[in-house]
Amino acid sequence: MSDSLKNRLDSVRRRIDEACRRAGRATDEVTLLPVSKTFPSEVLREAAGLGVRRFGESRMQEIRQKDADLADLHPQWVLIGHLQTNKAKDAARLVTEVQSLDRWSLAEALDTRLTAENRVIDVLVQVKTSPEPSKFGLDPDDLPDFLQRVSELSTLRVKGLMTMAVNSPDEEAVRACFRRLRMLRDQMVARGHTHLSRLSMGMSGDFEQAIEEGSTEVRIGSAIFGAR
């Protein structure tokens, strides 16, 4: 077992705890989601030996292969990447959670496939808080109507919101993205969507700021698994 993987995992967990303390939050308020996309199954098996059970992945093709390789471990796959509607069938069969629900056509496709599989999964709605055209996500103005429509689908349990901050050296610009998501969540809760307890925001380069701005789950890849 690689000491470096264990050391990096322990280091990230310490940094999460320290960020929570700085923000006056309990350390158990923030969940770590290790992001294993592009890393081979052998590395995930090593991480499983360190107690990791949930893995964040971006592509269904990769999940299919790793699920076959690691079938004896029964890993929980969390889809964090953009999901094409034609991949909804595989997602409905394999993933335990989708954090990138960003449009009605995808919600419908997942609902149809999940109904056929007789499954129900948790989802987070991905909201676009960055001006970058490369970022996916629902327009914040469309969130109220979208939440209402998705609430009528029995196969999707909406648990919160997800975002990716702007890729910028300007820390205030990054924090503004996180604050906007937290404020949107609070507005939706005030409007009756009391089930939106989760905020998935923050990655290897900005997770400490995200925690200080209210994140409840950070998605960490390179800081744990190394450079891709």
Q: How many domains does the chain have?
A: 1
Residue pair 198/124 in contact by the 8 Å Cβ criterion: yes
Q: What is the pLDDT of residues 15-34, one digit of tens each?
A: 999 999 999 999 999 999 99
Q: What is the rounded distance in angstroms from the CA atom of residue 118 to the CA atom of residue 194?
A: 26
Helix (H) or strand (E) holding 167: none
Residue for token pair 């949107």: 184
Q: Is the dihedral of CA 163, 169, 175, 177 positive or negative?
A: negative
The tally of CA atoms less than 13 A away on the side-chain side of residue 221 is: 13
Residue pair 77/62 in contact by the 8 Å Cβ criterion: no
Q: What is the pLDDT of residues 75-125, one digit of tens each?
A: 999 999 999 999 999 999 999 999 999 999 999 999 999 999 999 999 999
Full residue range of the structural domain in which residue 93 is found: 3-225
User: Confidence class of residue 3 from pLDDT cuts 50, 70 and 90?
Assistant: low
86 Cβ contact list (under 8 Å, min separation 6): 109
- The answer to whether residue 1 scores a pLDDT higher than 70 is no
Q: What is the pLDDT of residues 165-219, one digit of tens each?
A: 999 999 999 999 999 999 999 999 999 999 999 999 999 999 999 999 999 999 9
Q: What is the rounded distance in angstroms from the CA atom of residue 5 to the CA atom of residue 1?
A: 8
Residue for token pair 């496939």: 113
Residue pair 224/206 in contact by the 8 Å Cβ criterion: no
Which CATH number covers residue 171? 3.20.20.10
For 204, the token pair is 């290897």
- The answer to whether residue 163 scores a pLDDT higher than 90 is yes
Q: What is the rounded distance in angstroms from the CA atom of residue 62 to the CA atom of residue 1?
A: 23
What's the pLDDT score for residue 2?
A: 58
Residue pair 33/220 in contact by the 8 Å Cβ criterion: yes
**Residue 148 φ/ψ, nearest 5 degrees:** -65, -45
- The answer to whether residue 52 scores a pLDDT higher than 90 is yes
- The answer to whether residue 10 scores a pLDDT higher than 70 is yes
Q: What is the rounded distance in angstroms from the CA atom of residue 95 to the CA atom of residue 77?
A: 5
